[in-house]
Amino acid sequence: MNSTVSIQGVGTKKEAKEQLKLQLAQYVAEQPESRQTSHRLMKDLEVASLVIVGALFILAMYVSIDWMSVPPQAIPTAWFAFAGSFSLTIVLVGLHAVILRAFPPAGGLQYSMVHGYSPIRVPGKQSKFVTGREAVIKGWAVVVMGVVVAAFWAVFAYASWTMNMAILTPMIAILATVLGIGIAVSIVYSIFRSIFRSISRSS
C-alpha cells in the first residue's frame, strides 16, 4: 500500500524535520519486528559510514599539513577520496528506504545530506513523507545517485594519484561546469525567492 503525506502549514525547516521524524516514528511503530530491527541496523551503518567520512577528512587534513613528507599527488587524492566518501552514506540511506519502504528513512545529518543533493527534490517544494512503492523508487534513485557520485570521485582520485592528465583535464572541466551551473542556479533561485517573498509581504 502506498501513501503520501504532505507537510502542510510548516513554517520553518526545523518544524518540517520534526514533522518528518514524527511521521517516520509512527510508521516504524506499525511495522513488524523484523523490519524495525533492520531499521535500527541501517541507522547504525549510516552512523558508521559518517565515522569513515570523518576519518578521511582527518587524513586529508594531515597530508595537507604534512605536505613536505608525502608525495605531491597524495594531497588531491586524499581530498577527492574524502569527497567521494559521502556517497557511502548516500547509498546506505537509499538502501534503508528500500528495506523500510519509507522515505526519508531517517532524520538528522544522513537525510539532510541526501536531501540536499537529491535530484528528486524540487527547490521550494515542501518535503513529503512517502511509503510503499513510491518510497522504494525514491530509495533506488538515491542508491543510483550515490553510486554515480562514488564513481565520479573514484576516477578523480585515481587520476590524481597516477597524474593522468588525459583523465584529469576533462574531469576538471566537467566539475567546473557543474559547479558553475549550480552556483548560477542557486543565485537565480535566491533572487526569485527574495522577490516572491517581498511581493507576498507587500500584498
Parse the chain into domains and list their residue ranges. Answer: 8-163, 165-203
Name the 3-class secondary structure at 106.
coil
| Contact of 53 with 85, CB cutoff 8 Å | yes
Instruction: State pTM to two decimals.
Output: 0.73
Report the percent of the chain where pLDDT is more than 90. 37
From start to end of the chain, where are the E strands?
3-6, 102-103, 128-131
pLDDT at 24 (0 to 100): 87
pLDDT at 201 (0 to 100): 65
| Cell matching residue 146 | 550515490
pLDDT digits (tens, 9 = 90+) for 128-179: 888 889 999 999 999 999 999 999 999 988 888 888 888 888 888 888 888 8
**Of residues 122 and 132, more confidently modeled:** 132
Closest Cα to residue 168, out of 178, 182, 155, 179? 155
Closest Cα to residue 50, out of 82, 96, 17? 82
* Residue 70 dihedral angles phi and psi, to the nearest 5°: -125, 155
Q: pLDDT class for 5, splitting at 50, 70, 90?
A: very low
